[in-house]
């Protein structure tokens, strides 16, 4: 990037191979602009999940967040266990730190997440398990939680992942405290309550393994259609985009997004990363780069795909090695903050003219 530009200039001054200098200058132009500058020209938001501890402790981490992205998602600190550690007692302090950081850096915030089966506080899961929290209580607790959290951030969050990962791979409703106690009514309720608390926020369902058409994404398609027909205020679907180079790229992603778009819904890539069995070689990194740019291109090809968010940008803090043994290297930058081929691929894809659109893509909602 900056080094590349300087190296190119030096080459030009030295008058070495003219052709090589010309080629390097072209690629230096794309890379000289930050991802956020390139994304702005395309009318799309480029985001990252943020680890707020790293943001506070690691200045290199913080400067990449600020320089490269115009949207941020709290990787963990807006989740239930952090936000409501004991019943009715809310702690928004770590999330507020991120929201303030975002405001200072002219970034928007995606809210993640109001209702999930993971990272719930013990008082809630234990209470349901021992029967001290009844179905009616649980519904009230959910209502209160959503109202408190969405109200707290009212006007500061452009998209909320209201309901996260509620379907199984076969498209049936996931077994959780929510489905056990409340059937499937909690989904519509959660959207209605979130909408009441912040009518301007765009409200999303969000899940993984729905990039390709299949049982799970078909079930989401049917679910959103049904909910919209009932007047439930749902605005969009988030495709998480946790890929693995061991599997085929979901080449029907753009097609799949298009059918949700045709329902009048926004779409987003919300948690992109591409993991690799370690150690990663050159070919792996090239394949990874192609997967990232493929996901981004699918989003750019979808009229109301409003944002493309990576689930962390550096291999230094990724969730992947802790979950998938022997895998990692899933992000745009390596552990020493050196941009990988995936970074260049994302920048190049953002820099490319979109067929049928002016270079200044304008604002997408």
Interface residues toward ligand 9MR, by CB under 6 A: 75-76, 118-119, 240, 271, 319
81 an active-site residue? no
Q: Which is nearer to ligand 9MR, 86 or 119 (CB)?
A: 119
As measured in angstroms, the least distance from the Cβ of 76 to ligand 9MR is 5
325 an active-site residue? no
Nearest alpha carbon to residue 303 among 230, 364, 218? 364
Q: What whole-number distance in Å separates Cα of residue 225 and Cα of residue 205?
A: 12
Q: Which is nearer to ligand 9MR, 119 or 338 (CB)?
A: 119
As measured in angstroms, the least distance from the Cβ of 1 to ligand 9MR is 27
Q: Which is nearer to ligand 9MR, 27 or 76 (CB)?
A: 76
As measured in angstroms, the least distance from the Cβ of 240 to ligand 9MR is 6
Nearest alpha carbon to residue 182 among 168, 165, 166? 166
Nearest alpha carbon to residue 73 among 33, 39, 101? 101
Whether cis (ω within 30° of 0) applies to the bond prior to 262 is: no
The values of phi and psi at residue 140, to 5°, are -65, -40
* Marked catalytic residue, from 75, 149, 211, 271: 271
Q: Which is nearer to ligand 9MR, 38 or 243 (CB)?
A: 243
Q: Which is nearer to ligand 9MR, 28 or 146 (CB)?
A: 146
As measured in angstroms, the least distance from the Cβ of 19 to ligand 9MR is 45
* Marked catalytic residue, from 165, 303, 325, 335: 165
As measured in angstroms, the least distance from the Cβ of 121 to ligand 9MR is 14
Half-sphere exposure of 135 (CA within 13 A, CB side): 8
Are 7 and 24 in contact, with CB atoms under 8 Å apart?
yes
Q: What whole-number distance in Å separates Cα of residue 10 and Cα of residue 229?
A: 62
Q: Which is nearer to ligand 9MR, 247 or 355 (CB)?
A: 247
Q: What whole-number distance in Å separates Cα of residue 44 and Cα of residue 159?
A: 14
Q: What is the dihedral of CA 239, 245, 248, 250, to 10 degrees?
A: 20
CB neighbours of residue 189 within 10 Å? 19
Whether cis (ω within 30° of 0) applies to the bond prior to 279 is: yes
The residue of the chain with the least Cβ separation from ligand 9MR equals 319
CA dihedral over 334, 336, 338, 343, signed as positive or negative: positive
Q: What whole-number distance in Å separates Cα of residue 270 and Cα of residue 296?
A: 11
Find residue 76's DSSP bridge partners. Answer: none
Half-sphere exposure of 107 (CA within 13 A, CB side): 30
Q: Which is nearer to ligand 9MR, 203 or 350 (CB)?
A: 203
As measured in angstroms, the least distance from the Cβ of 41 to ligand 9MR is 29
Tokens of 299: 């989003």
As measured in angstroms, the least distance from the Cβ of 118 to ligand 9MR is 4
Residues classed as catalytic: 165, 271
């Amino acid at each position: 990037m900056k080094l590349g530009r300087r190296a190119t200039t030096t080459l030009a001054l030295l008058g070495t191979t003219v052709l090589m200098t010309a080629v390097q200058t072209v690629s230096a132009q794309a890379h000289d602009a930050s991802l956020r500058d390139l994304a702005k020209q395309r009318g799309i938001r480029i985001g990252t999940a943020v680890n707020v501890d790293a943001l506070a402790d690691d200045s290199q981490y913080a400067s990449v967040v600020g320089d490269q992205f115009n949207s941020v998602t709290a990787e963990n600190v807006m989740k239930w266990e952090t936000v409501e550690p004991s019943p009715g007692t809310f702690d928004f302090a770590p999330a507020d730190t991120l929201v303030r950081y975002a405001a200072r850096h002219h970034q928007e915030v995606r809210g993640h997440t109001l209702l999930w089966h993971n990272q719930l506080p013990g008082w809630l899961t234990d209470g349901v398990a021992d029967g001290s929290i009844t179905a009616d209580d649980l519904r009230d607790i959910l209502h209160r939680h959503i109202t408190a959290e969405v109200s707290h951030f009212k006007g500061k969050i452009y998209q909320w992942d209201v309901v996260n990962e509620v379907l199984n791979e076969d498209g049936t409703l996931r077994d959780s405290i929510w489905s056990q106690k409340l059937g499937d009514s909690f989904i519509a309720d959660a959207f209605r309550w979130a909408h009441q608390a912040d009518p301007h926020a765009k409200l999303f369902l969000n899940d993984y393994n729905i990039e390709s058409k299949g049982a799970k994404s078909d079930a989401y398609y049917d679910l959103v259609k049904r909910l919209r027909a009932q007047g439930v205020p749902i605005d969009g679907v988030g495709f998480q985009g946790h890929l693995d180079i061991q599997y085929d790229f979901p080449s029907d992603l753009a097609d799949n997004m298009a059918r949700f778009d045709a329902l009048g819904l926004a779409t987003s890539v919300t948690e992109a990363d591409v993991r690799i069995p370690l150690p990663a070689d050159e070919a792996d990194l090239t394949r990874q780069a192609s997967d990232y740019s493929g996901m981004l291109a699918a989003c750019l090809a979808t009229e109301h795909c409003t944002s493309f968010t990576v689930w962390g940008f550096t291999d230094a803090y990724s969730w992947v090695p802790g979950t998938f043994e022997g895998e990692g290297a899933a992000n745009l930058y390596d552990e020493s903050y050196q941009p990988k081929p995936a970074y260049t691929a994302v920048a190049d894809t953002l820099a490319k003219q979109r067929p049928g659109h002016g270079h200044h893509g304008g604002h997408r909602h």
